[in-house]
């Protein structure tokens, strides 16, 4: 048997096995009797994904189900379609709906995650304040004192206009404050 015929047989066997495996998991569940149905089946469009209230910001890891290195497609599977796609498809903007935005490299996946507060002086029409927090309890509205109590002194502090940025190089995180309150968190993928 030549190499090409052998490869074709292997592919055919693997395809058949995958089909059997897939179909075995597709048993149709019986419908409840009519008296148990609480609402008629909906023909409406699926509701948009929502951000779980328990979204935890993890430096070097990601945020909730979104992890650094995750593909654009997997990110969209988890959060739904973005409000806007920018920068030739690498910027996924969920600022209006979820208070989040992402930079996704075509090969390396998610490389930056930004969390936003509606208090941020940003040119978006609307911003939804992101409600997640770090495991230390730092979320939008936190003070510089709370951030430093959680992460110690920042490596660098810069002020530009109304914004003060606390940079933590080891964590690959930046906390931006306006009038002493946290209005944005930026995380970068580990280097």
Q: In angstroms, how far apart are the furthest CA atoms of the chain?
A: 76
Q: Does a structural domain hold residue 80?
A: yes
Query: CB–CB of 166/144 below 8 Å?
Result: yes
Integer Cα distance of 90 and 86 in angstroms: 6
Q: Does a structural domain hold residue 30?
A: no
Q: Does a structural domain hold residue 111?
A: yes
**Backbone φ, ψ for residue 29 (5° rounding):** -80, 140
Can you give the pLDDT at residue 191?
A: 86
Integer Cα distance of 128 and 65 in angstroms: 19
CATH number at residue 165: 2.60.460
Residue 141: closest CA among 111, 99, 103: 99
Residue reference for tokens 């940079």: 167
Q: Does a structural domain hold residue 82?
A: yes
Can you give the pLDDT at residue 9?
A: 43
Q: Does a structural domain hold residue 77?
A: yes
- In the chain (191 residues long), the average pLDDT of successive 10-residue segments reads 43 34 35 40 39 78 97 97 94 95 97 96 82 96 98 97 96 96 97 86
Q: Does a structural domain hold residue 116?
A: yes
Q: Which tokens go with 57?
A: 């910001």
Q: Does a structural domain hold residue 13?
A: no
The total of structural domains in the chain comes to 1
Can you give the pLDDT at residue 189?
A: 97
Q: Does a structural domain hold residue 66?
A: yes
Q: Tell how far CA 30 is from the center of its chain.
A: 35
Integer Cα distance of 168 and 120 in angstroms: 20
User: Given phi > 0 = left and psi -120 to 50 = alpha, else beta, which region is 60?
Assistant: left
Query: CB–CB of 120/176 below 8 Å?
Result: yes
Measured from the Cβ of residue 128, the count of other Cβ atoms closer than 10 Å reads: 18
Can you give the pLDDT at residue 124?
A: 61
Can you give the pLDDT at residue 122?
A: 73
Domain that holds residue 119: 56-188
Q: Tell the burial category of 142 from Cβ atoms under 10 Å away from its Cβ (0-12, 13-18, 19+).
A: buried
């Amino acid at each position: 048997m030549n190499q090409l015929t052998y490869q074709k047989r292997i592919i055919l066997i693997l395809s058949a096995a995958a089909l059997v495996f897939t179909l075995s998991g597709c048993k149709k569940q019986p419908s409840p009797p009519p008296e148990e149905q609480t609402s008629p089946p909906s023909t409406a469009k699926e509701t948009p994904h929502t951000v779980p209230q328990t979204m935890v910001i993890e430096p070097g890891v990601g945020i909730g189900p979104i992890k650094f290195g995750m593909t654009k497609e997997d990110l969209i599977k988890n959060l739904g379609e973005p409000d806007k796609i920018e920068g030739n498809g690498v910027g996924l903007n969920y600022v209006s709906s979820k208070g989040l935005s992402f930079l996704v490299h075509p090969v390396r996946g998610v490389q930056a995650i930004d969390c936003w507060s509606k208090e941020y002086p940003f040119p978006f029409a609307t911003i939804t304040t992101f409600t997640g927090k770090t495991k230390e309890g730092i979320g939008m509205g936190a003070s510089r004192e709370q951030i430093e109590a959680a992460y110690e002194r920042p490596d660098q502090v810069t002020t530009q206009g109304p914004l003060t940025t606390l940079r933590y190089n080891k964590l690959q995180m930046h906390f931006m404050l306006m009038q002493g309150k946290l209005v944005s968190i930026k995380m970068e993928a580990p280097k």
